[in-house]
Amino acid sequence: MINKTLIFANAPIKNIGFYKEIIKEADKIICADGGANIAKEMGIIPDYIIGDLDSIKKDLLTFFQDKTIIIKDKDQNKSDLELAIKLAESLPSKEIIIIGALGKRIDHTIANIFSLDQIKNAEKAIILDEYNSIELVKDNRIIKTNKNEIISILPISNVKNLCLSGFKWDVKNLDTKSGWFGLSNITKDENVKISFDKGKILVVKSKE
């Protein structure tokens, strides 16, 4: 099993320096179609490019032809990011990190976040940018944090017996529906614990 797979989605990346260590730690790099444009700007040769190939620049498609495994997939029922996730799962990957997924198009951003729910095999999957990390949690989890870090707990389904510990505002045995917004909680410990019996939760770490 591959330890870390990095996926480039197609939203612009501004602070290239922020991602250098993340890229360095990746064992495999996958570009979701136009994500290859961003990878090239950063001087990255990905292991794979996958999608219907309508977003990658034509000259870059030629550039990568003999350097990268290019998979043309015309499945219009899946986004390019969903295809990249499916590929990452098939490798398989212990951890999947997705960058370039939070952009100006709110519809694309929401779809990208919900695509985390399609990841079944990886132990951990995160959408990351300079200001946020977004993880879909489906079972009990200890989250590594720094003290006084901002974390929002956002259920996306009915959640049963939710407990939060290590936060400024802990929660005990809460049953809640999708849409209960645990916005801007603050960590008190370096590790916080999230547990529940049933449901799915987005855990969002944010920097102001």
CA distances from 185 to 41, 91, 161 (A): 36, 36, 18
Q: Which helix (H) or strand (E) holds 182?
A: strand 182-186
Instruction: Specify the domain boundaries for CATH 3.40.50.10240 within the chain.
Output: 2-130
Mean of the per-residue pLDDT values of the chain: 93
The 10s digit of each residue's pLDDT in 97-122 is: 999 999 889 999 999 999 999 999 99
CATH topology of domain 2-130: Rossmann fold (3.40.50)
Name the β-bridge partners of 98: 7, 127
Q: Where in the chain is the domain with CATH 2.60.120.320?
A: 141-206
Confidence of residue 150 (pLDDT cuts 50, 70, 90): very high
Please write the tens of the pLDDT for every residue from 180-206.
Answer: 778 999 999 889 999 999 999 999 999
Cα–Cα separations (whole angstroms), residue 143 to 40, 140, 153, 208: 33, 10, 12, 20
Measured distance CA(153)–CA(156) in Å, rounded: 10
Q: What is the pLDDT of residues 7-49, one digit of tens each?
A: 999 998 888 899 999 999 999 999 999 999 999 999 999 999 9
Q: pTM to 2 decimals?
A: 0.92
CATH code of the domain occupying 141-206: 2.60.120.320
> Token pair of 163, please?
């407990």
Say what the pLDDT of residue 207 is.
86
